[in-house]
Structure 1
Amino acid sequence: MNVAIAGRMSSSLFRRGLQKGSSIAIGYMPVAFTFGLLAKSSGLSLFEAVCMSIFVFAGAAQYISLTLFAAGISGFEIILTTFIVNIRHLLMSASIGEKSADDPKWKKALYSFFITDETFSVAAVQKGNIQAAYMLGIGLIAWSSWVVFSGVGYLIGSGLPTILQESMGIALYALFIGLLVPSARKSLKVILLASIAAVVNSILTFSTPMSTGWTIIISTLFAAVLIELLWKGEKADA
């Protein structure tokens, strides 16, 4: 009887997770579609593009990887850059871990894969403990949308004229600008962080023999550390 009740509760939580995650899935459609288009223009195969969405499931990291792939950057540099870009996931996972129920570790490991900025935002406002079934409902529908529309974007990109496919690369830079501007409008810290990273990256690119991957890694770390030191100094003075 207890097993049956637990099963019904898990089913109900899973359906509620699917409902909550449906808005995320809809929001992912155009972004994943664009990723598929750009993956095609970057020279990835359909299999490679879809597998990246299946196993990485991280929008910013996947977009950055396309640029690094096109530049011929080594796998180690791509992995390290992705780690730096996604290091915030450690904090999000820790926060979710504090709210999670006493589920088996394998369940926590399973739904931790689905933590993104969007799924975290939905889960974080959940009252009480977070159940595995609820997190899996949110994560699975968001992940499915991302994977499916990555493939759809790639297939539609394959049907575009070659000259249009090649020109799609510029959309990657437009996307990054689109992601940066809303945050920059609300925070001087973001503006300074992006500006310092851009200046340092340009200096390293034109004055050193470093590869593109290492210039991105070093400039990102330098800007992040410098901004945090400056901000802490201002708070201390205040």
Structure 2
Amino acid sequence: MKDVQTDLGYTTFRDGVRSCLPTVLGYLGIGFSFGIVGINSHLNLFEIALMSAIVYGGSSQFVMCGLLLANTSITGIVMTVFLVNLRHLLMSMTASPHFREESLLRNVSIGSLLTDESFAVFSTTVAQEKYFSLRWMEGLNVTAYITWIVATILGGVVGNFITDPEQFGLDFALTAMFAGLFITQFQWELTKSQRKAVSVVVSVGVSLYLLLFFVSSSVAVIISALVGCFVGGIVHDNK
């Protein structure tokens, strides 16, 4: 079989790499921003690379930097990161039925490297009813994984020369990326399922805004995420 994208779908590792390319700039931008924030949070390059390789979650890594600066306990950091990354469990559960014939180890590797961006690409491919293989998914995930690690290290190098990341708006980079991904998934005339998604996003945004007046930002993020899950469950049942 040729190592090219076919009309029927995506079959090879190289196809996965190509599918990941539209999101690479996002990984580079956010990873670069995290590296700068990480250096200014008193992490060294090795610690930044290690965190990116093991934790591998943009939102949770930014949160960890804030918690480290606040001298939060290890237990508090672990629990917060667990809750922030809990959505990955749902994404993995959504993807797993499509790889039911693969081994447990392969399914674990897919779930471990699944990100919001790669899941968006995966979901779009499923929605378009295109064929895709395990090799395609591996190409998509591995490309994103390597890009993220390299970007955070490069950001860490540059971060040695930037003492205040907030003056460049780097602390807002992750929010901007998620907003961009969200907007690109919608058309001007929303379908029923898209209107439900909008209601979830609005509920999260409103609850987050209100909670910031009463609790810390990290607690507000966790509670607003739970509110979004609750609203999502309600609108899903009301078909």
Would the TM-score normalized by the shorter structure come out above 0.5? yes
Q: Measure the CA separation in 1 of the matches of 2:105 and 2:81.
A: 24
Secondary structure at the aligned position of 2:28 is classed as helix
Matched, 1:32 2:31: yes
For structure 1, the 5+ residue unaligned runs are: 203-214
Task: Tell me the residue number matched to 1:119.
Answer: 118
Residue correspondences, number: 213
- How much has 1:38 moved relative to structure 2? 0.9
Matched, 1:68 2:64: no
Please tell me whether the aligned partners of residues 49 and 149 of structure 2 are also in contact (alpha carbons under 8 angstroms): yes
Q: 1:199 aligns with which of 193, 197, 213?
A: 213
For structure 2, the 5+ residue unaligned runs are: 184-197
Matches within 5 A, 1:57-96: 57-96=56-95
Q: Residue type of the partner of 2:152?
A: S
Moved more, 90-99 or 43-52: 90-99
Please tell me whether the aligned partners of residues 14 and 133 of structure 1 are also in contact (alpha carbons under 8 angstroms): yes
Q: Measure the CA separation in 2 of the matches of 1:231 and 1:95.
A: 15
The CA deviation string for residues 155-205 of structure 1, in whole angstroms up to 9 with x for no partner, is 1222x1xxx42x225645434664687779x65313322123313315xxx
Please tell me whether the aligned partners of residues 53 and 150 of structure 1 are also in contact (alpha carbons under 8 angstroms): yes
Q: Measure the CA separation in 2 of the matches of 1:55 and 1:70.
A: 20
| TM-score, length-scaled by structure 1 | 0.75
RMSD over aligned CA atoms reads 3.5
- How much has 1:108 moved relative to structure 2? 0.9
Secondary structure at the aligned position of 2:113 is classed as coil
Secondary structure at the aligned position of 1:216 is classed as helix
Please tell me whether the aligned partners of residues 101 and 131 of structure 1 are also in contact (alpha carbons under 8 angstroms): no
Please tell me whether the aligned partners of residues 60 and 84 of structure 2 are also in contact (alpha carbons under 8 angstroms): yes
| CA gap 1:151/1:83 in 2 versus in 1, 3 angstroms | same
Task: Tell me the residue number matched to 1:168.
Answer: 165
Please tell me whether the aligned partners of residues 99 and 130 of structure 1 are also in contact (alpha carbons under 8 angstroms): no
Q: Measure the CA separation in 2 of the matches of 1:120 and 1:28.
A: 14
- How much has 1:125 moved relative to structure 2? 2.6
- How much has 1:226 moved relative to structure 2? 5.5
Q: Measure the CA separation in 2 of the matches of 1:176 and 1:28.
A: 10
Q: 1:216 aligns with which of 196, 215, 218?
A: 218
Q: Measure the CA separation in 2 of the matches of 1:97 and 1:82.
A: 23
Please tell me whether the aligned partners of residues 4 and 14 of structure 2 are also in contact (alpha carbons under 8 angstroms): no
| CA gap 1:26/1:50 in 2 versus in 1, 3 angstroms | same
Q: Residue type of the partner of 1:118?
A: E
- Structure with bigger gyration radius: 1
Please tell me whether the aligned partners of residues 196 and 223 of structure 1 are also in contact (alpha carbons under 8 angstroms): no
- How much has 1:129 moved relative to structure 2? 6.3
Secondary structure at the aligned position of 2:71 is classed as coil
Please tell me whether the aligned partners of residues 36 and 152 of structure 1 are also in contact (alpha carbons under 8 angstroms): yes
Q: Measure the CA separation in 1 of the matches of 2:235 and 2:90.
A: 24
| CA gap 1:101/1:177 in 2 versus in 1, 3 angstroms | closer
Please tell me whether the aligned partners of residues 17 and 134 of structure 1 are also in contact (alpha carbons under 8 angstroms): yes
Secondary structure at the aligned position of 1:19 is classed as helix
